[in-house]
């Protein structure tokens, strides 16, 4: 999902999805932020395993049952309060059908004058309708759904 989208060589499919959902990415560009992330990962990788050994956990089922307890105690010890305590999350305004389209793999393709497009080593021929003839020479998006279904979007 992190491969670059051909539509814009500067944005990944993940970035495109966030953009369509009006979500801003906050990058950990400072050494301090990167350090916090790395310390948290190191703590989890080290502490989690040791705590599981101390608790005598030896199966996935036991680990899954114990994990909420670990998370609660871990957060009590290491969590930092946000600078702004207001909940700034916004509700989704997109319908389920719109979300289905947003979460597809999308690639731009140019419609030829013969009304064909190429995608995934296949040539697709568009119906010779008046509307499709207007698309000749233009770029359209091919949407590939998780089940392999394709759709075209202008």
| pLDDT above 80 for 35 | no
pLDDT digits (tens, 9 = 90+) for 42-60: 778 888 889 999 999 999 9
Tokens of 101: 């389209």
Mean pLDDT of all residues in 37-46: 79
pLDDT digits (tens, 9 = 90+) for 94-130: 999 999 999 999 999 999 999 999 999 999 999 999 9
Q: Which of 118, 105, 108 lies closest to 146, judged by CA?
A: 105
pTM exceeds 0.75, yes or no: no
Cα separation of 32 and 37, whole Å? 9
**34, 28 contact by CB (below 8 A):** yes
| pLDDT above 70 for 2 | no
Q: Which of 72, 88, 80 lies closest to 39, judged by CA?
A: 80
CA end-to-end span of the chain? 22
Question: Which residue in this structure is represented by tokens 């790395």?
Answer: 38
């Amino acid at each position: 999902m992190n491969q670059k989208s051909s539509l814009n060589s500067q944005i990944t499919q993940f970035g495109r999805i966030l953009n369509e959902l009006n979500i801003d990415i906050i990058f950990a560009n400072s050494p301090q932020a990167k350090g916090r992330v790395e310390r948290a990962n190191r703590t989890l990788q080290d502490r989690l395993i040791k705590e599981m050994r101390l608790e005598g956990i030896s199966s996935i089922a036991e680990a899954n049952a114990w994990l909420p307890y670990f998370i609660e105690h871990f957060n009590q010890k290491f969590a930092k309060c946000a600078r702004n305590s207001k909940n700034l999350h916004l509700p989704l305004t997109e319908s389920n059908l719109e979300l289905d389209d947003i979460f597809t793999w999308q690639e731009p393709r140019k419609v030829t004058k013969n009304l064909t497009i190429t995608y995934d080593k296949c040539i697709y021929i568009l119906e010779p309708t008046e509307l499709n003839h207007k698309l000749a020479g233009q770029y359209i998006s091919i949407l590939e759904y998780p089940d392999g279904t394709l759709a075209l979007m202008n």
